[in-house]
């Protein structure tokens, strides 16, 4: 059986998001129901050159670390990708799969010939998959994440996906937007259907899934085997619980109260501080705190106060003062359960 299990209803994937899907966020997403999670994109060059910051992105993935995680690599040349895959093996990083990024729209990445630029060069992209597959054949699966094409005028996801599957890709995630759209406009789920019809390997649909209803609609419309969720999880990792429920008999799922949201946010902050240190972790978490507090009363004032808090203790005090003013009690059964489940290496 394939280690990427698609048999029990559509598996839910946390999408790779640079600067977001680090160890703490992946842990939260998995707790709330993501079946698979993907790291931030990791530079193949950085791994090969033994760049410490690049290797730090893989914390939690060394032998015995998180299961059901895919490592996403990006790079411009098949040889570098191959060497990066070799490095993962040598260092004992054994994820469920290694995913190759062929969708990143960022100019710096595209100009180097990586990310979405590969969709304009199917031969080099296929060679990349073949090289990585040769390295990882008996180690883990090799998957690829693509866009619908480079631009609206050059939509090529279906033939491109065929070429990737032929080269050895064992799963294909499709973000239904061309590179030219970056993240604007609506994702085109019909292109995902075209890919499903074109290849034998499982296809994971991605783009604009915000709720359980969207997820069901995407699945019906495209026939995709799995569903990948990105932005909807920002500041609400519990979205996976709601989407999971949409594919089960569970009628409705209670959304966390403001006090529970704040408790989850503070726990996320605590994990991040353990990983990155107090000041660095607190600064890094400001964007997440902004997302978590979205829609709360007087959220703007709260955000300003959070931005002025430099440490975990200061942020906690800020949030507690705010909660007291609004009569919210900061507590969550989910946080208690997460504490029980947290792997040892982060230090319970």
Ligand X SMILES: Cc1cc2nc3c(=O)[nH]c(=O)nc-3n(C[C@H](O)[C@H](O)[C@H](O)COP(=O)(O)O)c2cc1C
Q: How many residues bind ligand X (CB under 6 A)?
A: 23
Find the shortest distance in angstroms from Cβ 329 to ligand X.
32
Find the shortest distance in angstroms from Cβ 227 to ligand X.
9
Closer to ligand X by Cβ: residue 41 or 80: 41
235 binds ligand X (CB under 6 A): no
Residues 148/172, Cβ–Cβ less than 8 Å: no
Find the shortest distance in angstroms from Cβ 75 to ligand X.
13
Closer to ligand X by Cβ: residue 37 or 330: 37
Instruction: Tell me if residue 224 is catalytic.
Output: no
Which of the following is catalytic: 104, 120, 140, 224?
104
Contacting ligand X within 200-229 (CB under 6 A): 206-209, 229
58 binds ligand X (CB under 6 A): no
Residue nearest to ligand X (CB): 230
Burial of 169 (0-12, 13-18, 19+ CB in 10 A): buried
Closer to ligand X by Cβ: residue 177 or 263: 177
Closest C-alpha among 134, 124, 69 to residue 99: 69
Closer to ligand X by Cβ: residue 184 or 251: 184
Burial of 251 (0-12, 13-18, 19+ CB in 10 A): exposed
Q: Which positions are annotated as active-site residues?
A: 104
Q: List contacts with ligand X (CB under 6 A).
A: 15-20, 40-41, 72, 101, 103-104, 145, 175, 183, 206-209, 229-232
């Amino acid at each position: 059986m394939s280690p990427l299990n698609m048999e029990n209803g559509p598996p839910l994937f946390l999408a790779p998001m640079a600067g977001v899907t680090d160890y703490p966020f992946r842990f939260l997403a998995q707790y709330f129901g993501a079946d698979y999670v993907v790291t931030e994109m990791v530079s193949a060059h950085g791994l090969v050159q033994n760049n410490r910051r690049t290797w730090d992105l893989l914390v939690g993935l060394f032998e015995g670390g998180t299961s059901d995680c895919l490592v996403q690599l990006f790079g411009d040349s098949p040889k570098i990708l191959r060497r990066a895959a070799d490095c993962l093996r040598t260092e004992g990083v054994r994820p469920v799969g290694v995913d190759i990024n062929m969708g990143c729209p960022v100019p710096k990445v595209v100009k180097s010939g990586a990310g979405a630029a590969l969709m304009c060069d199917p031969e080099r992209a296929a060679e990349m998959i073949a090289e990585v597959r040769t390295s990882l054949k008996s180690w883990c699966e090799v998957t690829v994440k693509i866009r619908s094409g480079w631009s609206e005028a050059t939509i090529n996801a279906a033939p491109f996906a065929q070429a990737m599957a032929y080269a050895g890709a064992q799963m294909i995630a499709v973000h239904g937007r061309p590179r030219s759209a970056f993240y604007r406009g609506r994702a085109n789920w019909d292109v995902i259907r075209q890919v499903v019809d074109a290849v034998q390997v499982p296809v994971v649909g991605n783009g604009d899934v915000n709720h359980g209803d969207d997820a069901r609609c995407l699945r019906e419309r495209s026939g995709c085997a799995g569903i990948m969720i990105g932005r909807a999880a920002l500041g609400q990792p519990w979205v996976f619980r709601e989407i999971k429920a949409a594919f089960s008999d569970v009628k409705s799922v209670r959304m966390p109260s403001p006090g529970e949201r704040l408790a989850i946010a503070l726990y996320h902050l605590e994990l991040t501080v353990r990983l990155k240190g107090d000041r660095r972790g607190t600064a890094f978490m400001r964007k997440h705190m902004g997302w978590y507090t979205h829609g709360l009363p007087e959220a703007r004032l709260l955000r300003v106060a959070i931005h002025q808090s430099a440490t975990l203790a200061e942020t906690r005090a800020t949030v507690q003062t705010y909660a007291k003013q609004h009569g919210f009690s900061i507590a969550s059964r989910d946080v208690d359960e997460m504490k029980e489940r947290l792997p040892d290496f982060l230090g319970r």
